[in-house]
Structure 1
């Protein structure tokens, strides 16, 4: 299947516990010389139990590929045609992220991976960052740090805050799950390089919408080029 500026392939990735995940690979078209050395970018979708799936990240994936980066989206366990069962707290899904990143390194021929998590995908991705040495950085799009969300995802916080790898946190100032104050308080304890980008007046689900795909792509590209 073709999308403007990139080619799209489907593949199946098997996890260590035998779950089969459906993945989509967005590859850049054109001058291979300009894409060599670029990290692959793995995108982790929002909360499975609330309808999160890889299709929500299609616009970002194709936008990254059109800019010269191989991007990979996938349905976590229990979503779409992926086997297994979704978990409430996202800890089983961390193994999905690890499996996909490992598959990318082995099959796409890259030695660097940038991990991007959207909404609940951000804490899940954050727990995987230090599990694979090839991951060179992390981008969070709307990390749910707030008190209510922390009931489900609070045990993920420590992993990304303690990681020495470079991190970018993108959030709307009207995010209903995390206030700007909560974000800043959490990031005070974060190790290593920590960048933030706030979108004035933008809500959590608004930022997830396709209208902001281009802006998310640009922010990811700026960050990865700074690594």
Structure 2
């Protein structure tokens, strides 16, 4: 891990007495104070916990964001990693966890702007939280599962992010096994506000989740934040 960043662990209280285990990735203080975006944090939501998703999968991206001068926060949703509680099939209880972490970040890290980033199943969960947290100023989806099979579980999340007026970026590989390029484009036709897409040619869903593409994800997120 880069020597110019600091990592701290903390616990966040969500609803239903759930304790969430979180990690804060920060540039070293002297570098962070020079950044124009020192009042902004990036909160990352990991893939489906019932299939082994946890915050460790986002460590590379969070470290890269911190190395670029941003405070990044990862956490285990309920029932994942060291967090208490029980994971759910549809991710609606996990939306409460995202909201709790965002509020904790604003109260404890001295920021008043948040960009939410969701990976795979974390994308619909994060998307449902976007308009429930006033401080969220933008949203990035990494492999949103819009396809028919995935929509059985996550379809009720779609409306929240598609109707949000906050700026949105959808990143996907053209060989994503859960969502085809045409399905993505059809869904985003109904999206409100500023909505952008970035397609990575020839890459599958799980390839894009892998560490080989962490630096690409970091660059895309940083460029999106710079455009806000």
Return the TM-score normalized by structure 2.
0.97
Q: Report how many residues are paired.
A: 226
Whether contact under 8 Å (1:37, 1:110) holds in the other structure is no
Counterpart CA distance in 1 for 2:77 and 2:3 is 26
Superposition deviation, residue 18 in structure 1: 1.2
Q: Is 1:150 the equivalent of 2:162?
A: no
Whether contact under 8 Å (2:11, 2:22) holds in the other structure is yes
Residue 27 of structure 1 corresponds to which residue in structure 2?
26
Q: Is 1:41 the equivalent of 2:42?
A: yes
Whether contact under 8 Å (2:46, 2:119) holds in the other structure is yes
Whether contact under 8 Å (1:45, 1:119) holds in the other structure is yes
Residue 116 of structure 1 corresponds to which residue in structure 2?
117
Counterpart CA distance in 2 for 1:199 and 1:106 is 36
Superposition deviation, residue 37 in structure 1: 3.2
Superposition deviation, residue 176 in structure 1: 0.1
Superposition deviation, residue 36 in structure 1: 4.6
Whether contact under 8 Å (1:118, 1:141) holds in the other structure is yes
User: For 1:151, what is the secondary structure of its paired residue?
Assistant: helix
User: For 2:203, what is the secondary structure of its paired residue?
Assistant: coil
Residue 169 of structure 1 corresponds to which residue in structure 2?
170
Counterpart CA distance in 1 for 2:73 and 2:32 is 18
Superposition deviation, residue 4 in structure 1: 2.8
Counterpart CA distance in 1 for 2:21 and 2:206 is 24
1:14-163 correspondence runs (5 A) = 14-29=13-28, 30-38=30-38, 39-163=40-164
Superposition deviation, residue 35 in structure 1: 2.5
Counterpart CA distance in 2 for 1:186 and 1:34 is 40
Counterpart CA distance in 2 for 1:8 and 1:224 is 22
Q: Which runs of 4+ in 1 moved over 3 A?
A: none
Counterpart CA distance in 1 for 2:130 and 2:90 is 17
Return the TM-score normalized by structure 1.
0.98
Counterpart CA distance in 1 for 2:127 and 2:75 is 16
Gaps of 5+ in 1: none
Gaps of 5+ in 2: none
Residue 179 of structure 1 corresponds to which residue in structure 2?
180
Whether contact under 8 Å (1:176, 1:203) holds in the other structure is yes
Superposition deviation, residue 5 in structure 1: 2.2
Superposition deviation, residue 80 in structure 1: 1.1
Superposition deviation, residue 33 in structure 1: 3.1
Q: Is 1:220 the equivalent of 2:221?
A: yes
Superposition deviation, residue 77 in structure 1: 0.2
Counterpart CA distance in 2 for 1:33 and 1:27 is 11
User: For 1:31, what is the secondary structure of its paired residue?
Assistant: helix
